[in-house]
Every structure is written in C-alpha cells, then in structure tokens.
Amino acid sequence: MEDKRVLEGISPEKLFYFFEELTRIPRGSGNEQAVSDYLVTFAKKRNLKVRQDDANNVVIWQEGTTGYEDHAPVIIQGHMDMVCVKDEDCSIDLEKDSLDLCVNGDEIYAKGTSLGGDDGIAVAMALAIMDDDTIPHPPLEVIVTTDEEVGMTGASKLDVAGIEGRALLNIDSEDEGVLTAGCAGGMRVDHVLDVRRENSTGYSYRIIVDGLKGGHSGVEIDKGRGNAVVLLGRFLQELIAHFEESFCVQLINYKGGEKDNAIPLLASADILVQIKDKEKQRGQLEANNDAITSELSAYADEYTRILKNEYALTDCNVSLRVEAINDDSASDVMAVCAEDTQVIADIIVAMPNGIQCMSAAIPGLPETSLNLGILELKDDALYFSQSLRSAVASKKDALFNKISTIAKLAGARTSSRGAYPAWEFKKDSPLREVVTAKYKELFGSEMKVDIIHAGLECGLLSEKLPGLDAISIGPDLSDIHTTSEKLHIESTKRTFELVKAVLASM
C-alpha cells in the first residue's frame, strides 16, 4: 500500500497522512469493523491502552507528556463512520473500495463520492497527536464512536468504564470560528394506520408535488420550506371536499420522503376516481377520463397558484399537478376505501409539522420542531415517520404525547425509537473559556458560541459522564453528506493549531 499519496507534502504531514489512511478504509455507518480494528492496531503498535467495546467504539488512553503527567485527562472525540453517497456514474464500491482522493487548491474532495471529512478529520487529528511525541498534552482519552450518522447508536452504547476525563473536545462541527456549546435532543416517531382496501372500478390519476428545496430537518427547519408529503395530504383533503358532490376518491398509493431527518422534496399519490351516481343521473358530467382529467387539472393549477404564493420566498418552484395514469377506459384496482382515504388525508393535515416553538433564551434558534420525513402507503397500512427535536426535554415529551394523541384519535398506533438527550448549554464552562481565548490569541478574532437544533453526541456523552464539560469545534467542511463534500486545508491547519494550543494549556 506504499503507493504515492495524494496528500503528500500538505502540512501538517501526519494529520493528512492519517486522513488519507482513513479514506482507504470503507467506513459507512454499519460497516465499521475494519476501521475500528485499524484504530485498535494503531494503539497496540504504540503500546497504548485501548478498548474496543461491543458496539465497536474504540477508546484509546495515552499518558500526559513531560510536565503534564499529573494533569486532569482531556477527551478528544469524533465518530469513525461516514455517510456514503456516490454519483450515479461512479464505479467505486463504497463497501469495499478506497475513495478517489483529489486536491484542488485549498480543497480536498473525493471524486464521485462523499469524502468522510465528517468525521474522519476528528479521527485523523487524534491519531496525529498521539503519534507525535513533540506535541505537549495532558493525559488523553480518545473516544471514537460508531454509527453516529444513523442515530448515534455507537455513543449510546459506549462503554465508559475507566474514562476519567471531564473536559471533552468533540471535533464534529463544520464551521471554523464557531464553537457549539449545546444542542437539541430528539427522537424518531413511527405511526402505523391500518387501512381497508376493496376492489373498485374507476379512473386512475397521479398527484405529484415537487420543485421543493427540502433540506435538513434540524438546521434547516427554520427556513419555512414546504414539506411535499404534508402539502400533498392537504391537497388530497381539499380535493375530496371540493369534488364531494361529483366524485368518490380512493387512494391507491401515497409515498414521499427518504429519511426522517430530511424535509421531503417530492411526494406522489395515485388515486382512483369514480363518478357518483347522483351526478351521473343529472348528466352534469360525462363519465369519461378526459372530463375528469380536465376538472382535476384545473383544480391542481389553482392549487399550485396558492402554493406559489405561500412559498414565493422559500420554494418558488413548487409544483402540484394531476396526470391521468391510463387514458383508456375505467379499470379495476384494489384501492383504499373512501372512508380510510379520508382518514389518511385527515391525519396528515392534523399532524403538526415544522417549527413548534422558537427559543426564548436564544433569539433565532428553534426550540421545538417536528418533521414528517417518510410516508408510505402499503397494502394494508399507512406508515409514516417523524423526526422530533427539542432543546427542552419535557417539551419533547409533550410534543410526543400530542402527536400520539392525534394518531390515536385517527385509529393509528405510535411508537418511538432512537431517543437522544439534549445537550444543555452550561453557563459556566472552563473548557469553552480556554478554547475561545486560545482562538482569539491565535487568530485575532472572536469565536462565535452557538447552540444548534441538531443532534450531537455530546448530549449522550454528557449523560454517561456526569459533570462533563464539552464543546464542539471543527474545520470548514462544505456540502457534507453529498458527493460535493469538501475539506478546506487552511482551515484544517488552523483548527489543528487550536486543538494543540488548547491541549498545551489544559
């Protein structure tokens, strides 16, 4: 493997050496055995105490350097897994292959795939410090977790026996110059609504909502963007009411969203439309596909105008349309009965969504929010999942109760999973003082202290390590979790300087 290194010559040499090593080990969430073993081997080779726990988290202990032997230990923490995504035409197998690392000026990226700078850079920094005996530091406890990107399950199962440090540097932020000092807690909520299907005859149409921007359900929930699944449910409910006299509407399928922590940008539903007998007798509507199509399309156009007005500033390309699925005669389909179709529309409309409350403590910060991220109508039930976040634990519980109650009234069952605690902002944080002071001393500007509306492992670790003083920092990383992910070299250099300066003064 001693072929030419792409990052050779970029300093700090050791930091970028280990970063490149990590890009050669496939490490998507759930596929961390190899990288976990790599960390254990790293420690054993250097005679460092190491533990790999049942969840494959790795903890490495290193003694303090000369003069620092008696100081309190400091924890350096990051996650070893990454979000693996690739371009359609990319031939790399992310389960097996190395990434195709490239450098362009100040940017490091991986051709055709995500880079894993989130959070490989944290791991590389920890390894570079432990590998270099010229860097002064107190006793170190390096915690590298698994499965951060899929619900932080590694951190939640972390074996903390023997971890004595109560000052924790989490290096999983993407904005140099911003120090994160708190984050919201959250959970995933799943609902199941049983539905009855029946063999029905009618014309089939597809309703499509698209043209939305979507985004992250935590950090972008305050942008006021439309949720395709929710907008489609709202349209369906109004469509049923609007055509009540003429049509009977039954859902065939309904689907939208891919992740519960992403705002859905696309949703579609197939419906079966039957002309009501009364209407047929009055002869006001020809019972044919063309007539129904033009009625529905006109209504959809009108609705698109309403949405374009509502979302003029956030999702100006929003579009809602109705298309005939087959343009011949009426056909037989197993469709959800009209009554249950109504319940589906009602439950989506009744569910709260988006920002529920802004923080009174920090202007501009969302405090409690909800995102309906995935919905799918299967044969005999409707399934949908939400991501719920709140900076206040009791408000998280209250919102869970509220949405469970709405679900119960509609006849649905609710469960939750993957709950993680909020990381509450501490008024007094000696570590925050040190980091912000060192940043100012080194770079001449003030670090911004922030609380974010997204999950970080610091919440789980604070729960496991009572009295923990944690902060989160990191170098500039852009477009994480996408194939455009870029790590910025100069910013990485500065962040590494900062980490070293903080360690030297602890």
Q: Which helix (H) or strand (E) holds 41?
A: helix 33-45
213's CB contacts (< 8 A; 6+ apart) are 223, 225, 263, 265, 314, 315
Taking each helix axis from N to C terminus, what angle separates 13-23 and 117-131, rounded to the nearest 10 degrees? 130
Closest CA to 93 of 113, 74, 107: 113
Choosing from 119, 147, 148, 469, which is the catalytic residue?
Answer: 148
Choosing from 20, 21, 32, 81, which is the catalytic residue?
Answer: 81
Residue 457 within binding range of Zn ion, rule CB under 5 A: no
Closest CA to 222 of 391, 96, 49, 100: 391
Q: Does 463 participate in catalysis according to the annotation?
A: no
Residue 174 within binding range of Zn ion, rule CB under 5 A: no
Give the integer Cα–Cα distance in Å for 61 and 25.
23
What's the closest the beta carbon of residue 479 comes to Zn ion, in angstroms? Answer: 13
Q: How many residues bind Zn ion (CB under 5 A)?
A: 3
Closest CA to 228 of 317, 166, 135, 114: 317
**Nearer to Zn ion among residue 77 and residue 200 (C-beta):** 77
Residue 172 within binding range of Zn ion, rule CB under 5 A: yes
**Nearer to Zn ion among residue 23 and residue 65 (C-beta):** 23
Q: Which helix (H) or strand (E) holds 131?
A: helix 117-131
What's the closest the beta carbon of residue 80 comes to Zn ion, in angstroms? Answer: 10
Give the integer Cα–Cα distance in Å for 65 and 132.
11
Q: Does 89 participate in catalysis according to the annotation?
A: no
**Nearer to Zn ion among residue 320 and residue 477 (C-beta):** 477
Q: Which of 20, 118, 457, 469 binds Zn ion (CB under 5 A)?
A: 118
Give the integer Cα–Cα distance in Å for 45 and 64.
18
Stretch that binds Zn ion, among 93-101, 115-123, 235-243, 314-322 (CB under 5 A): 115-123
What's the closest the beta carbon of residue 178 comes to Zn ion, in angstroms? Answer: 14
What's the closest the beta carbon of residue 29 comes to Zn ion, in angstroms? Answer: 10
**Cis bond before residue 118 (omega within 30° of 0):** no
**Nearer to Zn ion among residue 118 and residue 176 (C-beta):** 118
Q: What are phi and psi of 196, to 5 degrees?
A: -105, 135
What's the closest the beta carbon of residue 148 comes to Zn ion, in angstroms? Answer: 6
**Nearer to Zn ion among residue 32 and residue 118 (C-beta):** 118
**Nearer to Zn ion among residue 124 and residue 208 (C-beta):** 124
Residue 81 within binding range of Zn ion, rule CB under 5 A: no
Stretch that binds Zn ion, among 31-39, 116-124, 360-368, 488-496 (CB under 5 A): 116-124
What's the closest the beta carbon of residue 142 comes to Zn ion, in angstroms? Answer: 16
Taken as a whole, the chain contains a residue count of 506
What's the closest the beta carbon of residue 188 comes to Zn ion, in angstroms? Answer: 18
For residues 494, 29, 425, 420, the Cα torsion angle rounded to the nearest 10 degrees is: 180
* Tokens of residue 103, six digits: 């450098």
214's CB contacts (< 8 A; 6+ apart) are 225, 228, 262, 263, 264, 265
Stretch that binds Zn ion, among 110-118, 179-187, 241-249, 373-381 (CB under 5 A): 110-118
Give the integer Cα–Cα distance in Å for 287 and 308.
32
**Nearer to Zn ion among residue 81 and residue 270 (C-beta):** 81
Residue 119 within binding range of Zn ion, rule CB under 5 A: yes
Tokens 């799943």 correspond to what residue? Answer: 190
Stretch that binds Zn ion, among 43-51, 172-180, 455-463, 465-473 (CB under 5 A): 172-180
Q: Which residues are catalytic?
A: 81, 148
Binding stretches for Zn ion (CB under 5 A) = 118-119, 172
